[in-house]
Amino acid sequence: MFYFLSKVLYALVAPVSVVIIMFLLYFITKIKSYIYWAFGLLLFFTNPWIAQNMMAWYEVEPIALKKKNQYDAIIIPSGFVINFSINGQQRTNFSDGNDRMLQAIDLFKRGISSKIIYTGGSDTVFGDYEAEAKLGKDFLIKCGIPDTCIWIETKSMNTYQNAAFTAKMLEAKDKNWKQKKYLLCTAGFHMRRALACFEKQNFQVDAYSTDIRSIRSKDTVLNTILPNYGGFQIWTYLWKEWIGLVVYKMKGYI
């Protein structure tokens, strides 16, 4: 129920939803203040300069790692892979967040760690799909990473469960897992909440931020003047994380 409500309720308070609601309220009530708020919020949320600077403030900065920085495992949380069929042929589809997987592959190839932990189940609210970690593992193997170097957790449906269920899996595989050192590989804007969840589950974990959005088209003339949907997208990610932090704190997840 919590998972379902988190998906539905967030959609109602997302930035684009707020603007639409303001427009609807104006058309229903004819109160001019609503239309002023609608256009004002629209201009604010679609301004890429404001959005990117806010993202730069919130994102966890990326770090550089050399081979001497050894970790017992790289952890990849789910949220960017789905399977679908084209004329009977299965294809793995990657969303915009797949940078965390590509960075994990790079880290593995550079010897930062000899193991990858992929955590993520399937979206059972809005579809019936194969567990994301299973799909991700298949792709990692295709990229040349040995099957024996990949552990997967296939039941989790959100960031809290990514951490909690991974801890449970490791408890069954390695009684000394709490003394090991892990590298969490996820989007910079998602890192604060994810890191807090894993630390709550007693992981010794460092942050390796990926998908850095504050540097995209930064400081160009068009970026600072012309409104675009990219600003809306950034604010959507930020609102989701801020709401997630509040809810997770209230529920004791972090």
Per-residue pLDDT of the chain (254 residues; tens, 9 = 90+): 555 556 666 677 788 889 999 999 999 999 999 999 999 999 999 988 889 889 999 999 999 888 778 999 999 998 888 776 677 767 777 887 889 999 999 999 999 999 999 999 876 555 566 888 999 999 999 999 999 999 999 999 899 999 999 999 999 998 899 999 999 999 999 999 999 999 999 999 999 999 998 876 666 666 667 788 888 889 999 998 998 898 899 889 99
Give the pLDDT of residue 13.
72
Closest CA to 249 of 207, 209, 196: 196
Tokens of 219: 């400081």
Please report, as a single letter, which amino acid is at residue 197.
C
Write the CA distances from 25 to 19, 30, 36, 43, integer angstroms: 10, 8, 11, 18
Which residue is associated with the tokens 């804007």? 189
Confidence (pLDDT) at 231: 85
- Write out the two tokens for 126: 């809005």
Q: Taking a C-beta distance cutoff of 8 angstroms, is the pair 94, 80 a contact?
A: yes
Q: What is the largest CA-CA distance in the chain?
A: 65
Dihedral over alpha carbons 65, 99, 78, 151 (to 10 degrees)? -50
For the whole model, what pTM was predicted? 0.88
| Cα distance between residue 33 and residue 22, in whole Å | 9
Q: Residues in the chain, how many?
A: 254
Domains of the chain with CATH codes = 2-59+226-251 (no CATH), 73-210 (3.40.50.620)
Q: Which residue's entry shows tokens 């998906």?
A: 7
